[in-house]
Amino acid sequence: MASLIFKDLLVQALNEDGSGLDWTSLGTLSAKKNAQGKAKIIAKSKGIWAGEMLCEATQSLASELGTPFTIKMLIKEGARLLPGDVVCEWKGSLAGILALERPFLNLCGFSGGIAQKTRTLVDLIESKWKSYRLSSPAPRLTLTRKTLPYYRDLSVLAVMAGRGHAHRVSLSGGVLIKENHIQASGSIKRAIDGVKKVAPHGLKIEIEVTQMDELKQALSAGADIIMLDNFTPEQVKVAIKIIEKTADKTIPRPWIEVSGGMNAENIQNFVMPGVDVISVGSLTHSVTAIDLSLLVQK
């Protein structure tokens, strides 16, 4: 399914480019009807490779357009890239290769940038977690819904390539009661009770809290996951103690998520026993693309 979505992105890019009237390619290939050739994708910067599904979509679309070429992957999804690394090889229709070059590189550079940022933060989380010498897994790093329209699946898979995790990938994928929902319903208890009446029984109920009093209300109302939004590390520690003290056989311990302003400079301050999830919006809303280049071979 994701491959179909990526194909749609590529089709939109071709339409935006007006590829049917690409005078440059039409002219340079005019003497070579159905010209065949080879090309390779080369990394020009450090990064993480997050292009497997894009390769599948690109190869499939090229065939549908009548300009088929094959793509041979030379590295695995999630592998680290260094400048000069050859990522994959394209072989077949030069018309297809030239048409899909820029759309592919743009999307792959974007996804690789997300994967690179994710891996950087995951490495920092795991490094700090090792200092606790615990057998339990480190807090998982997730993206948020701060993604461009139509680019969410691409963003989710890129985060996963960087060894991060998905959050809810759509509004139907989970319940997340935020500040505006609480205001609209009138209270935390009303918000949670209202959701319990309509949501499928298998969905977890998560609620965002911004202060200790809201945390206590969320615990009493039976939230499955509590997001500590914009808490300081010291406040997170206090919140964990409250949760651990409150949770007993009648009130199961909820998962604890921390969010708000996390980056490479401060994320290790929030890595502590009791924190289960760290969500970071900048994984997808502040992306620096990795640099990739396609070179046609003689």
- Report the pLDDT averaged over residues 27-51: 88
159 lies in the same domain as 92: no
Q: What is the pLDDT, as a whole number, of residue 164?
A: 98
Q: Are 128 and 276 in a shared domain?
A: yes
Residue 30 sits in the same domain as residue 134: no
For residues 184 and 79, membership in a common domain is answered with no
Name the DSSP class of 165: B
Collapsing DSSP to helix, strand or coil, 208 comes out as: strand
Helix (H) or strand (E) holding 126: helix 94-130
Classify strands 47-48 and 80-81 as parallel, antiparallel or unpaired: antiparallel
Query: What total of structural domains would you count in the chain?
Result: 2
Q: How many H-runs (helices) and E-runs (strands) does the chain carry?
A: 10, 12
Same domain flag for 108 and 142: no
Query: Which range among 13-17, 68-72, 101-105, 160-164 shows the weakest confidence by mean pLDDT?
Result: 13-17
Q: Which residues contact 247 (CB under 8 A, 6 or more apart)?
A: 219, 253, 254
* Residues 32 and 149 grouped into a single domain: no
Residues 163 and 188 placed together within one structural domain of the fold:
yes
CA 88/CA 39 separation, integer angstroms: 9
* pLDDT the model gives residue 215: 95
Q: Note the pLDDT of residue 3.
A: 67
Q: Do residue 203 and residue 221 come from a single domain?
A: yes
User: Is residue 144 scored above 70 in pLDDT?
Assistant: yes
Cβ atoms of residues 90 and 71 within 8 Å:
yes
Nearest alpha-carbon partner for 124 in 284, 235, 280, 254: 280
Residues of the domain holding 268: 119-285
Q: Are residues 63 and 123 in the same domain?
A: no
Residues 75 and 171 in one domain: no
- For the domain that residue 22 is a member of, what is the CATH number? 3.90.1170.20
Helix/strand/coil for 263: coil
Worst-scoring range by mean pLDDT, 3-17, 140-154, 271-285? 3-17
Per-residue pLDDT tens digits for 205-220: 999 999 999 999 999 8
Q: Note if the pTM is more than 0.75.
A: yes
Q: What is the pLDDT of residue 82?
A: 97
* Segment 79-121, tens digit of pLDDT: 999 999 999 999 999 999 999 999 999 999 999 999 999 999 9
CATH classification at residue 170: 3.20.20.70
Same domain for 257 and 291, yes or no, is no
Do both 158 and 251 map to the same domain?
A: yes
Distance from C-alpha of 66 to C-alpha of 64, rounded to nearest angstrom: 5
Beta bridge partners of 73: 88
266's tokens: 């401060």
Largest Cα separation within the chain, whole Å, is: 78
Element (H, E) at 127: helix 94-130
The rounded mean pLDDT for the chain is 93
